[in-house]
């Protein structure tokens, strides 16, 4: 909770542990970066005139490390930046790439914007939902795939397209989608 | 007019992203030349070239640079907007992946002009491969001594928010905050990133700079129109035979772009409508495409050059359904900061969706038009005005299609059979 | 100093003044939600649009600084249409639940809709749903559906308290204010977010549903909670007492004073008024004889006190004045003491725990008038008085307000002192362990029940006004003391608080020249804040120890 303990402020934040509305105490964060990662955090913070600018890069690092950005992770990251957890929560909830719940081992994000829509994106989404047995926004029971339908990924020349983890997959057909799914373990 | 490739000249080389390839094709010679020029001369050259911002706003680049306060002594930042996100646009992805050194060289020259020692390149979060390619090029440039001697480059990843392509939203995001656009004044050139004077330029804009320095403002200006010089990269998608990125003069007509470069309309082969400058540009009917693609040409046609993302629709495309997709985008991407945009993007999407789903009401269309007109120009940034372009133009130009849906409420006739994916419905 | 014209009125303003403030100077109110003079400029609500000559479209006034020669118009057709549109946008997803909203009657959505909206509603789609009736902390309740996302509360926590508990999460029309899950809004100033919330999104858990705001009456006052003396308004429920279980004081609200508290008050002060309508209030004079308590008349009580002051030698009498008493009371007390020449006087009872303090408003001295009491020469050694009581040198002790047993002094010693006293007189608003021991209890009116002034720690004299009638037979201390003086045969001219103050100002150099009129609504600083000794006073009579 070092993020709340400011000395420059007019008042000091309450020193008692935060409680939820039922008055239950929130456990101290159990997530933590390795020493090497903390070094990377400091390096990233040093790249900018204001270390807060490293918040997005550090949240990316946190998501890679912890799988998703839990409230615990937000609290932990807030401490690394001397921010309040609310300030980190604002950022995490603003951007679409931060997962706030466990995600599948693979994330399949189908573009549903205009060019892909014109090229049949709704059918691709329907196909994926059928094959995976889940709706958009859900994760397969085996934790293999999280399916998303997203705004323009800016590869409209290859519509319909989708992003599978870090890769863009172009010119989708149901057959191609099946082949891609087979490659996801 | 389309003969010479400038920005895309190396795209065919498999190793075009490497420093070796870049140097073999004359890379970094412009930077050598620029180092002999006073900063003001560089800015003047860019002004004379009539280079205009290619991210969307079309503002004269040299003029923008000249807004940096002359007697400023603290840091000045050069920020590159690589947060490509305008639906229908994909040119910067090509530049980052296939000619990253052109951006680095352009940044070196621009930084000299504005006396900046630090540049930030804000790459959209989803662009993982472009981010890696560009980061590798930055490492090469450091190793080769282009960077690190008075100018440093930090490559920064976004995290998924269209609004971060707005220059002050981008600055907020770069600063580690939500991508909420900032109030103007102050303008970034006075008080931008980290409170310092800042110039935000689009990737493609900066990639032009080395060529302007090498070949001169007069040459660049001569490639375009009276008020806008050069070529630009058109992203063409939708119902065309050969979707892709095409470099051509800013003075090319939309018709030639579609018919000659993209090889004509698919679907039923008959053009219905075109979005000429990314989703935020007002739509043009098939009879409105004999316009030049420069900033002023398209403005005179009642739309905008924007990011030059051209989305082509043939007669089988449902315009109401297209508007629903676009309206969903604006509702999803509104940052929520100021009231007119936050509240009405969602409302308009609900109305358009209702119409498309056959539950339209008689007065919906007039309500949408009125709400859009009333909100236009009232917000902090240009996002909402960008949404208003499609809201109004789709309905005004294709009102009959919307009315048919409303009149035949319940009979949903829209479907967008997609060539390659249509079978998936079965 | 830029000169500009607003709706035809010429006005000159200090550099850096925005158009909302500049317009206020010529009596022009520009409607706004997100702008607050105590917070940074957000420019989010877009309501404060005005027309500026040579500007192509309406511009927000909050982020526009007055400039030389600027010509501003706030009531053009274009501006009015824009305002109407912005009002519609604000209300698209608003639940329109005024009948069950506690903000009704003081809601700026209601007010501005009537003044600037009056459009025909046309939003017939499902509204966005958000959390309702969420307790954010001990004092504040959130209804996110009513929120217009003006971010005032967020900026308050970021910029004023610097505690940063609140944020605006998500985006688009799903944006909502809230806390980081699992935390609460419990900073020492949390109630202020309710004040600055222009709508019914943040309401006061203590006040909500107690009484409709249109039944409230208000009086300008000063918070008695600490030595700062924050300016407040006392909102009282006289017209519908049954609406609030008989509680007359409904709430305290901060009142702007640039030199004292600006727009804010702390929660301790805001919610510190419960004693006024508490069951422990003393409502009638009472006498305790042989352990039995019985009501008495004021005549009997005053007679008993005056008799004691005559009966005991001045050195056998001790007095604990209170730093919670008004200047007028303290001056009347001085007059009483001077009559027989009582010198054993003190007003400070050290608290068991040092009071909390910060650099924003909160002072560790939890009394509103320690400064005034000191200036009036009442600062003596309280411990010595108690010691003298234990030694049976002091035989009559008159305590104002204090519970001597609750202070930092060893309780057993204080207890022994009180037991040793042949006569203990207590004057105060509420019963406490000391009053329970008193032989005579004289009920005092609470600060909201009377007029008076306090002198804050900086030497600012501030008035508080009467908001309600005294409970039962309670009287202001100056009145009780005036009656005692008369019973002692002293001529008393003052029959109102203001008269007492006039007398005080004439006698005490520090207060020279001050009048209720000069003090006004925002107070006046003492001419010589430390010059407390009464003019031409015989040395033997000052100091009073």
SS3 B45: helix
Minimal Cα distance from B240: which residue of A? A157
What dihedral do alpha carbons C222, C228, C230, C236 form, nearest 10°? -40
pLDDT reading at A167 higher than 50: yes
Q: Are the CB atoms for C53 and C70 separated by under 8 Å? A: yes
pLDDT reading at B222 higher than 50: yes
Average pLDDT of span B304-312? 97
**C-alpha distance from residue A82 to each of A5, A6, A95, C22 (Å):** 8, 8, 21, 38
Q: Which chain C residues touch A14 with a CB distance below 8 Å? A: 163, 186-187
Domains within chain C, CATH numbers bracketed: 3-91 (3.10.20.740), 98-277 (3.30.70.20), 286-355+362-541 (3.40.50.740)
Q: Are the CB atoms for C411 and C405 separated by under 8 Å? A: yes
The 10s digit of each residue's pLDDT in B234-276 is 999 999 999 999 999 999 999 999 999 999 999 999 999 999 9
- φ, ψ of residue B271 in degrees (nearest 5): -70, 135
pLDDT reading at B348 higher than 70: yes
pLDDT reading at A26 higher than 70: no
Q: What pLDDT was estimated at residue B193?
A: 98
pLDDT reading at A91 higher than 50: yes
Query: For chain B, which residues make up each domain, given as ranges?
Result: 19-222, 231-314, 319-407
Q: Are the CB atoms for C452 and C476 separated by under 8 Å? A: yes
B 205-244 → A contacts, CB under 8 A: 235-239, 243-244
Judge whether B413 is closer than 8 Å to chain A, CB to CB.
no
One fold for B231-314 and B319-407: no
Q: Which chain A residues touch C164 with a CB distance below 8 Å? A: 4, 83-84, 86-87
Q: Which of B91, B119, B122, B126 to mutate to test the interface with A (most CBs of A within 10 A)?
A: B126
Average pLDDT of span A105-133? 98
Minimal Cα distance from C179: which residue of A? A86
Crossing angle between the packed helical segments C77-91 and B364-375, to the nearest 10 degrees:
120
Between B192 and B425, the more confident residue is B192
For A19, the token pair is 């409680």
Q: Which chain A residues touch B311 with a CB distance below 8 Å? A: 114-115, 118, 156
Q: Which fold has domain B319-407?
A: de novo design (two linked rop proteins) (1.20.1440)
pLDDT reading at B150 higher than 90: yes
The 10s digit of each residue's pLDDT in B49-96 is 999 999 999 999 999 999 999 999 999 999 999 999 999 999 999 999
pLDDT reading at B415 higher than 90: no
Cβ separation A52–B85 shorter than 8 A: no
CATH annotation of B19-222 = 3.40.50.11540
**pLDDT bucket at A22, cuts 50 / 70 / 90:** very low
Q: What is the nearest CA distance from C258 to chain A, expressed in angstroms?
A: 17
Our CA angle for C112, C116, C121, nearest 5°, is 90
For C38, the token pair is 């105590």
Element (H, E) at C233: strand C231-236
pLDDT reading at B425 higher than 80: no
Average pLDDT of span B404-417? 64
Q: What pLDDT was estimated at residue A29?
A: 52
Q: What pLDDT was estimated at residue C442?
A: 98
Give the nearest partner residue to B159 out of A49, A60, A120, using CB atoms: A60
> Cα–Cα distance between C309 and C62 in angstroms, integer?
63
Q: Which chain C residues touch B380 with a CB distance below 8 Å? A: 43-44, 46
Query: For chain A, which residues make up each domain, given as ranges?
Result: 2-94, 106-182
Hey, which chains touch B, using 3+ CB pairs under 8 Å?
Answer: A, C
> Cα–Cα distance between B51 and C241 in angstroms, integer?
74
Q: What pLDDT was estimated at residue C529?
A: 55
Element (H, E) at A79: helix A71-81
> Candidates 3.40.30.10, 3.40.640.10, 3.30.70.1400, 2.50.20.10; correct CATH number of A106-182?
3.40.30.10
Q: Are the CB atoms for B127 and B93 separated by under 8 Å? A: yes
Judge whether C168 is closer than 8 Å to chain A, CB to CB.
yes
Minimal Cα distance from C181: which residue of A? A20
Q: How does the average pLDDT of chain A come out, rounded?
A: 88
Give the closest residue to C87 by CA, choosing from B184, B375, B392: B375
What dihedral do alpha carbons B231, B237, B238, B240 form, nearest 10°? 70
pLDDT reading at B344 higher than 60: yes
Hey, which chains touch A, using 3+ CB pairs under 8 Å?
Answer: B, C
Cβ separation C187–A14 shorter than 8 A: yes
Tell me the sheet residues that pair with C397.
Answer: C318, C424
CATH annotation of B231-314 = 3.10.20.600
Write out residues in chain C with pLDDT < 50, as ranges: 533-545
Average pLDDT of span B366-372? 98
pTM of the complete model? 0.93
A 149-178 → B contacts, CB under 8 A: 151-160, 163, 166-168, 171-174
pLDDT reading at A110 higher than 80: yes
> Cα–Cα distance between C15 and C1 in angstroms, integer?
5
Q: State chain B's maximal CA–CA distance in angstroms.
A: 70
B236-262 core/surface letters (b: 16 or more CB in 10 A; e: else): bbbbbeebbbbbbbbbbbbebbbbebb
């Amino acid at each position: 909770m070092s993020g709340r303990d400011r000395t420059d402020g007019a008042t000091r934040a309450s020193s008692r542990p935060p409680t939820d509305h039922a008055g239950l105490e929130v456990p101290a964060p159990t997530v933590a970066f390795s020493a090497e990662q903390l070094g990377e955090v400091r390096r990233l913070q040093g790249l900018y005139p204001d270390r807060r600018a490293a918040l997005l890069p550090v949240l990316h690092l946190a998501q890679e490390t912890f799988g998703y950005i839990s409230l615990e992770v937000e609290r932990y990251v807030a401490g690394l930046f001397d921010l309040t957890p609310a300030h980190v929560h604002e950022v995490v909830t603003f951007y679409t790439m931060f997962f706030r719940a466990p995600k599948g081992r693979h994330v399949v994000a189908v573009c549903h914007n205009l060019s892909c829509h014109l090229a049949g994106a709704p059918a691709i989404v329907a196909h994926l939902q059928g094959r995976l047995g889940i709706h958009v926004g859900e994760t397969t029971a085996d934790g293999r795939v999280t399916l998303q339908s997203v705004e323009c990924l800016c590869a409209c020349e290859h519509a319909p397209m989708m992003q599978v983890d870090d890769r863009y997959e172009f010119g989708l057909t149901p057959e191609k989608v099946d082949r891609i799914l087979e490659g996801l373990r | 007019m389309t003969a010479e490739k400038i920005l895309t000249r190396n795209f065919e080389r498999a190793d075009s992203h490497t420093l070796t390839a870049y140097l073999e094709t004359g890379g970094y010679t412009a930077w050598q030349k620029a180092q002999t020029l006073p900063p003001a001369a560089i800015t003047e050259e860019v002004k004379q070239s009539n280079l205009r911002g290619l991210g969307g706003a079309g503002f004269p680049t040299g003029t923008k640079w000249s807004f940096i306060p002359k007697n400023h002594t603290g840091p000045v930042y050069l920020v590159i907007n690589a947060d490509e996100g305008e639906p229908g646009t994909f040119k910067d992805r090509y530049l980052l992946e296939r000619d990253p050194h052109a951006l680095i060289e352009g940044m070196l020259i621009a930084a000299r002009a504005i006396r900046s020692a630090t540049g930030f390149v804000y790459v959209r979060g989803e662009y993982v491969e472009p981010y890696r390619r560009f980061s590798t090029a930055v490492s090469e440039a450091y190793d080769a001594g282009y960077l690190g001697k008075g100018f440093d480059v930090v490559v920064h990843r976004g995290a998924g928010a269209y609004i971060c392509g707005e220059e002050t939203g981008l600055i907020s995001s770069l600063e580690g905050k939500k991508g909420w656009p900032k109030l103007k004044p102050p303008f970034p050139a006075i008080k931008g990133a980290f409170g310092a004077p800042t110039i935000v330029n689009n990737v493609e804009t900066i990639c032009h700079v080395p060529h302007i320095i090498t070949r001169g403002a007069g040459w660049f200006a001569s490639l375009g129109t009276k008020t806008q010089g050069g070529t630009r990269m058109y992203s063409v998608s939708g119902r065309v035979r050969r979707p892709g990125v095409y470099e051509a003069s800013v003075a090319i007509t939309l018709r030639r772009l579609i018919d000659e470069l993209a090889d004509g309309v698919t679907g039923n082969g008959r053009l219905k409508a075109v979005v000429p400058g990314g989703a935020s540009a007002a739509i043009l009917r098939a009879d409105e495409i004999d316009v030049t693609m420069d900033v002023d040409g398209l403005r005179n046609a009642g739309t905008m050059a924007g990011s030059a993302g051209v989305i082509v629709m043939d007669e089988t495309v449902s315009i109401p359904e297209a508007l629903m997709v676009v309206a969903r985008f604006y509702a999803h991407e509104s940052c929520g900061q100021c009231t007119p945009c936050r509240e009405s993007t969602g409302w308009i999407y609900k109305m358009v969706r209702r119409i498309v789903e056959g539950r339209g009401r008689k007065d919906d269309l007039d309500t949408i038009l009125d709400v859009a007109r009333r909100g236009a120009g009232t917000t902090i940034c240009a996002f909402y005005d960008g949404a208003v372009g499609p809201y109004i133009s789709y309905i005004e130009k294709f009102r009959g299609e919307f009315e048919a849906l409303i009149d035949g409420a319940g009979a949903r006739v829209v479907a967008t059979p997609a060539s390659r994916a249509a079978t998936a419905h079965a | 100093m830029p000169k500009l014209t607003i709706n035809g009125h010429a006005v000159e303003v200090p550099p850096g003044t925005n158009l909302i403030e500049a317009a206020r100077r010529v009596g022009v109110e520009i409607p706004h939600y997100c702008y607050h003079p105590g917070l940074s400029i957000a420019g989010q609500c877009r309501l404060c649009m005005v027309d500026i000559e040579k500007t192509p479209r309406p511009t927000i006034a909050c982020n526009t600084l007055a400039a030389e020669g600027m010509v501003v118009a706030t009531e053009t057709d274009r501006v009015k249409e824009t305002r109407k549109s912005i009002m519609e946008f604000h209300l698209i997803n608003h639940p329109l639940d005024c009948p069950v909203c506690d903000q009704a009657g003081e809601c700026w959505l209601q007010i501005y809709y009537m003044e600037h909206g009056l459009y025909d509603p046309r939003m017939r789609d499902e509204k966005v749903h958000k959390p309702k009736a969420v307790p954010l902390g001990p004092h504040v309740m959130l209804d996110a559906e009513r929120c217009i996302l003006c971010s005032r509360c967020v900026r308050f926590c970021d910029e004023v308290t610097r505690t940063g508990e609140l944020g605006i999460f998500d985006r688009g029309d799903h944006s909502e204010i809230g806390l980081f899950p699992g935390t609460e809004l419990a900073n020492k100033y949390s109630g202020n977010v309710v004040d600055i919330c222009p709508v019914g999104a943040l309401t006061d858990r203590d006040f909500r549903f107690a009484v409709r705001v249109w039944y409230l009456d208000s009086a300008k006052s000063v918070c008695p909670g600490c030595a700062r003396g924050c300016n407040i308004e006392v909102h009282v429920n006289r017209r519908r007492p049954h609406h609030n279980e008989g509680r007359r004081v409904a709430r305290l609200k901060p009142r702007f004073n640039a030199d004292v508290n600006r727009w804010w008050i702390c929660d301790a002060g805001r919610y510190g008024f419960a004693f006024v309508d508490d069951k422990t209030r003393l409502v009638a004079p009472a006498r305790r004889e042989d352990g039995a308590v019985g009501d008495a008349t004021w005549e009997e009580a005053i007679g008993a006190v005056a008799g004691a002051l005559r009966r005991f030698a001045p050195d056998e009498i001790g007095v604990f004045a209170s730093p919670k008493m008004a200047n007028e009371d303290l001056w009347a007390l001085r007059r009483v003491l001077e009559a027989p020449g009582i010198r054993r006087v003190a007003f400070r009872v050290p608290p068991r725990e040092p009071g909390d303090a910060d650099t924003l408003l909160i002072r560790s001295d939890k009394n509103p008038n320690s400064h005034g009491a000191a200036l009036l020469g009442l600062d003596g050694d309280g411990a010595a008085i108690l010691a003298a009581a234990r030694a049976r040198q002091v035989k009559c002790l008159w305590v104002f307000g204090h519970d001597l047993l609750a202070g930092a002094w060893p309780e057993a010693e204080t207890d022994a002192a009180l037991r040793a006293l042949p006569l203990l007189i207590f004057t105060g608003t509420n019963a406490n362990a000391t009053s329970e021991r008193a032989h005579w209890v004289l009920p005092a009116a609470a600060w909201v029940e009377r007029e008076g002034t306090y002198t804050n720690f900086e030497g600012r004299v501030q008035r508080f006004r009467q908001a309600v009638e005294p409970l039962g037979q309670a009287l202001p201390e100056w009145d009780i003391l005036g009656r005692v003086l008369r019973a002692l045969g002293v001529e008393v001219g003052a029959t109102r608080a203001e008269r007492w103050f006039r007398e005080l100002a004439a006698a005490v150099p520090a207060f020279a020249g001050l009048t209720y009129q000069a003090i006004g609504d925002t107070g006046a600083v003492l001419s010589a804040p430390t010059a407390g000794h009464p003019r031409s006073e015989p040395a033997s009579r000052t100091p009073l120890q």
